[in-house]
Structure 1
Amino acid sequence: MIAKNQAHNLPRSLGSVASWVSEIVLVINDCTDETESVAKRYGARVEERPWSCRRDQKNIALDLASYQWILGLDADEVVSDALRQDIHNFFREDHLKYAGAYFPRKTWLIDRWITHGDFYPDYNLRLFRKDCGRWGAVESMIKLSFKERLKS
């Protein structure tokens, strides 16, 4: 995860994953709020790095991660209980066959969830093997260096 002045979002975001992920890596830059201390309360490893661009910051976080599987979230994103269960099922059943998984992302706009049109389901590849993916030139997109399905 990357963040700048996201102390207000981190409790919801990190709170949705802290109890079941093996590691949280947060790359911050030039924060003037409590982002770092909030993240550390959730057990995050926090690294300060100068800003270059979103892609590069996300790839720094990726490089700092210790584990094979990456769950890439933004600081304002929350993993629902249903998605958490789907991720657990993926690791019980499919993680040896695939190098990544797409999630339908739901967007909160103004005062409501957008559940139709081009906004939903907004499928994003956010769970992937570290050795198979990098954040690419298009912001928020992961460029995978493999075929979507691994050979069994």
Structure 2
Amino acid sequence: MADVSVIILTHNEEKHIARCLQSLHPFTDKIFIVDSFSTDRTVEIARSLGAVVTQNPWVNYATQFNYGITNNPFQTTWLMRMDSDEYVLPELAAEINQRLPDLPADVSGIYVKRRVLFFGHWIRHGAYYPIWLLRLWRRDQGICEETWMDEHIKLSQGKTIQFQNDLVDHNLNNLTWWTQKHNNYAIREVIDLLNINYNFDETQRVEPKLFGSQEQRTRYFKIQYASLPLFTRPFLYFFYRYFIRLGFLDGQKGLMWHFLQGLWYRFLVDAKLFEVYFHAGREKQAIIHYFRTHYGKDLSPGN
């Protein structure tokens, strides 16, 4: 067993949680779940498989995950971040067991590759594989970036390395659930795009850098994307993914994925951003007031 504990956030994940936890058991039995008051069998299943479960009201992903870091009952050298609809491949589990104990002290973070499955199909093209994510880090040397969307683990020191094997993102819910989820994501994405110009919460984020780490490049490209005209950028992004980055090679299931995630969702974000400007204008305090009164989200510093 590796000296690592895994933190997972859950809400009504009974379809996924057993698969996720069983994939972790080859390298750790130290699993801490922060549940936001599930109404299905998530907590029951997780506890039956040995996880320690606590419950905490949901604010946003970063706040909930940092709660998990602070309240993690396991004093392990390493922490790992997992989503409940993900699972670790046996090859990655073996690599964690073999390599983690012998890493030098100046290594503080480890990147792993995520592969996305959609209707059981591995999305290999459209710049969607490999996606390198910082998922393991030394305790007390990393926190979750305080953003409303695309949160990353931010290290306070040390260098990073890459492991060679994958974890898998395979959500088993239907398309109605998926579109509803992305409709909710769109509001968070709007806030994150507005934060680029307004910095509502006045927090430090991952430094944008074209030739930096995966999350630094992601932040860099998001800033460039935010500077493009509304309703033009979703089509440019889809064209880039589907044609330039060969997303069409993913076949019929890939067409659905790249269209829904790369065009429909991005267009919905722009439409919601247009709605904010239409009703609130572009003054910072007016936008904060709009989100507080219409969405119940307080964007002020410290919230």
TM-score, reference length from structure 2: 0.47
Please tell me the residue identity of whatever aligns with 2:113: P
Please tell me the residue identity of whatever aligns with 2:47: K
Structure with more of its chain in strand, by fraction: 1
Is 1:96 the counterpart of 2:105? The answer is yes
Deviations 1:87-136 (A, max 9, x none): 12222432534111100110112330112331100000001112110010
Runs of at least 5 residues in structure 1 that lack an aligned partner in the other structure: none
Q: Which moved more, 1:105-114 or 1:50-59?
A: 105-114
Asked if 1 retains the 8 angstrom alpha-carbon contact of 2:27 and 2:96, the reply is no
Please tell me the residue identity of whatever aligns with 1:51: W
Aligned length: 150
Is 1:122 the counterpart of 2:92? The answer is no
Larger Rg: 2
Match of 1:105 among 89, 96, 114: 114
Runs of at least 5 residues in structure 2 that lack an aligned partner in the other structure: 1-7, 161-303
Asked if 1 retains the 8 angstrom alpha-carbon contact of 2:13 and 2:42, the reply is yes
TM-score, reference length from structure 1: 0.90
Asked if 2 retains the 8 angstrom alpha-carbon contact of 1:107 and 1:113, the reply is yes
Structure with more of its chain in helix, by fraction: 2
Distance 2:57 2:98 in 1: 37
Distance 1:40 1:30 in 2: 14
Structure with larger RCO (C-alpha < 8 A, sep 6+)? 1
Deviations 1:10-46 (A, max 9, x none): 0110010134314100000121101100100111110
Q: Which moved more, 1:86-95 or 1:26-35?
A: 86-95
Match of 2:60 among 50, 53, 57: 53
Please tell me the residue identity of whatever aligns with 1:5: N
Asked if 2 retains the 8 angstrom alpha-carbon contact of 1:29 and 1:50, the reply is yes
Residue of structure 2 in register with 1:147 after alignment: 158
Identity %: 29
Deviations 1:47-96 (A, max 9, x none): 01011110111111112222221111000110001111121222243253
